[in-house]
Each structure stands twice: as C-alpha cells, then as structure tokens.
Structure 1
Amino acid sequence: MTSTDTQSPSSPNAFPHTAAPVAPAADRTLSVTSFVLGLASIVFGWTFVAPIAGLVIGIIALRREPLGKTFAVWGIVLNALMLFGVLLGLVLALAGIGLGLTFLPFAFL
C-alpha cells in the first residue's frame, strides 16, 4: 500500500460533504400560514374570522408538520391572544364599559 492509496484526513476528498437536510417549504406551509394569520390579525386588526382560522390551522399544523412546530406554536399563541382581545372587548362593550369611556369627555358638551 502506498501513500497515494490512502487518503489523509486533510485531503478534500477524505470525508464526503455532509450537510443538514433542509426541509422543503411545503413541509411548513400550514405552520407559516397560522403564524402569518396571527401577525396579520394583530397588525391589521382582523378581529374574528382570521384568528379563528389561524388557530384551527395552527392546531392542524402541530399534528401534521413536526418541522414547523415553532411557527405553529407562535401562530396559535398570536391567534389566541387576538381572539381573547376581541372577546374581552365584546364583553366590555356589552357591559357598557368599553367604548362608553372613550367618549366620556364629549358627553358634557
């Protein structure tokens, strides 16, 4: 056996290139959709339909997409916060506390 038959660890061909596999975007579609709906519902003030849809999509994504778990969890959290805020606002408005306080200074004019 000669020195040309063996490869030293410093030679470029000694170890094959091993990189972490990158998941295709299709494996995280539902998770990212839930996250985007959560962000958009908070930023744009989408109040009822978008947070419910994002919440349902996030729960489905948790079960189907293990690679998108982080996006799915954040989507569920953001959508749940927005939905909770909307429901709290509706309860306060029905109780007469919500929007009535906003216009209180103008009630004496």
Structure 2
Amino acid sequence: MTTISPAPTATDVETRGFAVSSLVLGIVSLVAGFTFVVPVAGLVLGILALRREPSARTMAIWGIVLNGVMLAGVVIATLAFLAFGLLLLPFAPLAFV
C-alpha cells in the first residue's frame, strides 16, 4: 500500500529569492560595468536575505561582497574623475584657443 505525502506548506518551503537576487545583481554589476543603482539594490537585498533567509546565508554574503566591492569602485572612480577634472580646470580656457 502506498501512502501519499501531503503537499508542502508555505512554511515548509524555504525561499531564497532575496539571496539569489542579491547574487545575480552582484554578478550583473561586475559584468555590466559601473552603475550606482544596481549595487545599492543588490546590497539592500543581500542584507535583507541575511535576516530573513538563514538557509541562503552563503549566497547572501557573496551578494553583499560583490555589490559592496562594485559600489566602492563606483565611488572611488567618481571621486577620481572629479579630482582629475578639478585639476584640469585651470587649463580649460586653453582648450578654446
């Protein structure tokens, strides 16, 4: 005689949506180049995943690391471009001669 097991309930199924989204956004931000919105969204999703999805901790941590590195890169590159532009500002009138 075979017994049919009951369907899993919503509490039995573990969700990993935030962690997967954070990891995917981290990989996309590495591949797609420097943006500001994508790493911030991935960082927020990774932090939420750490709190809500303990079974997906590794993916959440990797998402946080990738998004944090890319966000730091964006900030450093922006500051470097601004500093370089300010250094060249006294020579701007020479460009129109």
Q: RMSD of the TM alignment (CA)?
A: 1.9
User: Residue 53 of structure 2: which of 65, 69, 74 is its match?
Assistant: 65
State the alpha-carbon separation in 1 of the partners of residues 32 and 82 from structure 2.
Answer: 23
Q: Judge conservation of contact 1:31–1:65 (CA < 8 Å) in 2.
A: yes
Report the counterpart of residue 81 of structure 1 in structure 2: 69
Asked if the contact 1:37–1:75 (Cα under 8 Å) also holds between the matched residues in 2, the reply is: yes
Larger radius of gyration: 1
TM-score w.r.t. length of structure 2: 0.72
Residue 46 of structure 1: CA displacement? 4.7
Partner of residue 95, structure 2: none
Q: Please tell me whether the aligned partners of residues 40 and 46 of structure 1 are also in contact (alpha carbons under 8 angstroms).
A: no
Alignment length, in residue pairs?
75
C-alpha distance in 2 between matches for 1:68 and 1:46: 27
Amino acid aligned to 2:30: I
| Aligned counterparts, 1:29-108, within 5 A | 29-96=17-84
Tell me the TM-score normalized by structure 1: 0.64
Structure with a larger share of its residues in helix: 2
Per-residue deviation, residues 12-64 of structure 1 (Å, max 9, x unmatched): xxxxxxxxxxx85x511110100000000110115100000000000000000
- Paired with 1:46 and 1:93, the residues of 2 have a C-alpha distance of 13
Structure 1 residue ranges without an equivalent (≥5): 1-22, 101-109
Q: Percent identity?
A: 52
Cα pair 2:19 2:46 within 8 Å, conserved: yes
Structure 1 runs of 4+ off > 4 angstroms? none
Which is bigger in relative contact order (C-alpha 8 A, separation at least 6)? 2
